[in-house]
Structure 1
Amino acid sequence: MSDPALRDLCVDLARALAARVRPELGAHAGRRHGEVGAGGDVTFRIDEGAEEELAAFLATRAPHLAWYSEDQGLIRPDGADTVLVVDPIDGTRPALAGFEAACVSVAAAPLGDGAPTMGDVTVGVIVEIKTGREYIAVRGGGLESTDPVRLSPTTDLDRLFWTFGFRGRPARELIEVVGDLIDRSSVGGGVFDLGSACFDSVCVLTGQLDAFLEPGPRMIDEVPATRAAFERVGDGAVLNNSPYDLAAAVLCLEEGGAVVTDCAGRSLDDRPLLGSGHDFQMSILASANADLHAKLVQEMDRGIARLARTAGAT
């Protein structure tokens, strides 16, 4: 499949999934729990309908492609040389509440030896379900977006508008890492939990936010004693951002000119694209400019050091 055809397929799939979910936004019936997905998170009825649409679309339009989703894991037809990494609803809980912060995420990469990485992603598409706003990135080809990219020039942490997430994260341990940043920005800036990594990312691109960060995997890697707290909150699973949460978002951020690394300032390019669970999860720090990014990496370093001291004292 040519690159333009693959791009168009990803866009069509994202639009079809958004159209399937849009009428159910805010519907109480969608809150019924289903099975636990391959990623370990709770599956709601609204997720099940989106997954059904995903399977039906690909069976008709692209039965030769492999695909990976949160609920299904990897589906690989014989001979497939390309994989789509799809999150039919990134931000299920905002979708259930009828909020704008819910997106469809579709990314594409060559399968190669069967172990593609984040750096292999060639196409990334995000569609906001409620508004229909679109963000379409092709590696090396820039970003097309419904709203123009307006990256913030902010570098002052006291005036920072930023976001992070609580879903599945232990609150006390997480606040040990980000608490100082919350305090610094809570009056002159603003801090939000919006419930969707994709929505957080596009808000950096539009200038609504200066930064998006999620330190969970770094917390576990560098302070292993915190893993038990993550598993307690996640009902036995570690719930941080998996590749299907970030594959399209990272490419959109990069092609839109934002600075994106993990929370230690390292590239995400060599991280595995297919998989879930702690070994595949990754922290993320996305900033509107390089000066701000460097300051936030230092804040994360200090936060992790505080967490390590606290864990050592308990």
Structure 2
Amino acid sequence: MTGARAGRSWSADLELLVGAAQAAGARAMEFFGNSPEVWWKNEGRSPVSAADFAANDILKKELLSARPNYGWLSEETDDDAARLDCETVFVIDPIDGTRAFIAGLDVWCVSAAVVHRGRPVAGVLVAPALGEVFSAIADGPALKNGAPLQIAPAEEGRATRVAAAQDMLSNMDLSGLGEVERIAHVPSLAYRLAMVADGRIDATLVKRNSHDWDLAAADLILSRAGGGLATLEGAALFYNRPEVSHGILCAAGLERLSRFVRASHTLSGH
């Protein structure tokens, strides 16, 4: 069981996450398409809406009331260094894809994970505008709306579908990947990783400065579906560190991941 104490099941934590994320998603839907109030953070580079805060409030109340000994890391809550002393932590993005949400696009989701000793052990992505729920625990299958997900083997003769910014793709060494088909921008990073897990995308690149809350739940779902999320050195990610942002990352099914990492080595200075 990856990152989990021997003999411990995380199914109760997953049930808790799913219920809280669905409640947060339902609350966010009350704002969706209704021009919620928007503020700008990070020197005006990143929007946050009233829906983000409302969803965050529900998640924090429901999750910490049930697991008061867990730490807390959320995009929309001031960081508390006390989380670093916690063996187990909730890692939350109340709305991943806020720009899409504000624009009335349906590709956004609530992302919620339990991270234990640096690795996700339970995770859920709830995409209420799409009617989709992705979930996984460390010793179980990845599920989409209750049905198991398993990344299929590569099909001979079919182009590799890659979601990546054009400038990054242009700087990759694609010689080992065969024909590549670029997929149009997916505004939610967590949902994009879920699309790799359910086979709509074969691989994706993640620009530097993604954060724990963007990645933790989707990382687990992808790995339990037979895929992986890795650094340019091919290493797995660890969460709940003092620094919660990450460098350039690669995601793909395990059959493709090592080749995709090798193809991406030219991006180290990108």
TM-score by length of 2: 0.80
Q: Larger radius of gyration, structure 1 or 2?
A: 1
Q: Which amino acid aligns with 1:281?
A: H
Deviation at 1:150? Answer: 4.9
Which residue is 2:206 aligned to? 214
Q: Is the 8 A contact 1:107 1:247 kept in 2?
A: yes
From 3, 9, 17, the equivalent of 2:10 is 3
Which residue is 2:142 aligned to? 143
Deviation at 1:140? Answer: 1.9
Q: Is the 8 A contact 1:123 1:139 kept in 2?
A: yes
Q: Is the 8 A contact 1:13 1:57 kept in 2?
A: yes
Question: CA separation in 2, counterparts of 1:244 and 1:9?
Answer: 17
Provide closer, same or farther for how the CA distance between residues 207 and 52 of structure 1 changes in structure 2, counting only shifts above 3 A. same
The answer for unaligned runs of 5 or more in structure 2 is 1-7
Deviation at 1:183? Answer: 9.7
Q: Which amino acid aligns with 1:130?
A: A
Q: Is the 8 A contact 2:70 2:88 kept in 1?
A: yes
Deviation at 1:98? Answer: 2.3
Which residue is 1:68 aligned to? 73
Which residue is 1:51 aligned to? 56
Question: CA separation in 1, counterparts of 2:156 and 2:97?
Answer: 29
Question: CA separation in 1, counterparts of 2:193 and 2:61?
Answer: 28
The answer for unaligned runs of 5 or more in structure 1 is 111-115, 166-173, 217-239, 308-314
Q: Which amino acid aligns with 2:22?
A: R
Provide closer, same or farther for how the CA distance between residues 205 and 7 of structure 1 changes in structure 2, counting only shifts above 3 A. same
Q: Which of the two has greater strand per residue?
A: 2
Which residue is 1:267 aligned to? 236
Question: CA separation in 2, counterparts of 1:162 and 1:80?
Answer: 37
Q: What value does the CA root-mean-square deviation take over the aligned residues?
A: 3.3
From 55, 68, 89, the equivalent of 1:83 is 89
Which residue is 1:179 aligned to? 170
Percent identity between the two aligned chains:
23
Provide closer, same or farther for how the CA distance between residues 97 and 179 of structure 1 changes in structure 2, counting only shifts above 3 A. same
SS at match of 1:95: helix
Deviation at 1:212? Answer: 1.6
Q: Is the 8 A contact 1:159 1:190 kept in 2?
A: no
Q: Which amino acid aligns with 2:98?
A: T
Provide closer, same or farther for how the CA distance between residues 128 and 272 of structure 1 changes in structure 2, counting only shifts above 3 A. same
Q: Which of the two has greater helix per residue?
A: 1
Question: CA separation in 2, counterparts of 1:133 and 1:15?
Answer: 10
From 221, 224, 249, the equivalent of 1:284 is 249
Which residue is 2:257 aligned to? 293
Provide closer, same or farther for how the CA distance between residues 259 and 81 of structure 1 changes in structure 2, counting only shifts above 3 A. closer
Deviation at 1:248? Answer: 0.8
Deviation at 1:71? Answer: 1.9
Question: CA separation in 2, counterparts of 1:35 and 1:214?
Answer: 21
Provide closer, same or farther for how the CA distance between residues 301 and 58 of structure 1 changes in structure 2, counting only shifts above 3 A. closer
Deviation at 1:81? Answer: 5.8
Q: Is the 8 A contact 1:152 1:210 kept in 2?
A: no
- Report Cα offsets for 1:215-257 as digits up to 9, x if no partner: 42xxxxxxxxxxxxxxxxxxxxxxx211111111111111111
Question: CA separation in 2, counterparts of 1:157 and 1:33?
Answer: 47
Provide closer, same or farther for how the CA distance between residues 15 and 276 of structure 1 changes in structure 2, counting only shifts above 3 A. farther
Q: Which amino acid aligns with 1:300?
A: S
TM-score by length of 1: 0.70
Residue pairs, 1:1-314, within 5 angstroms: 3-30=10-37, 32-33=38-39, 36=42, 41-58=46-63, 60-74=65-79, 82-110=88-116, 116-117=117-118, 119=119, 121-146=120-145, 148-154=148-154, 159-164=159-164, 175=167, 177-180=168-171, 189-216=181-208, 240-268=209-237, 271-276=238-243, 280-290=245-255, 292-304=256-268, 307=270
- Report Cα offsets for 1:34-61 as digits up to 9, x if no partner: 5559xx8442333222222223334654
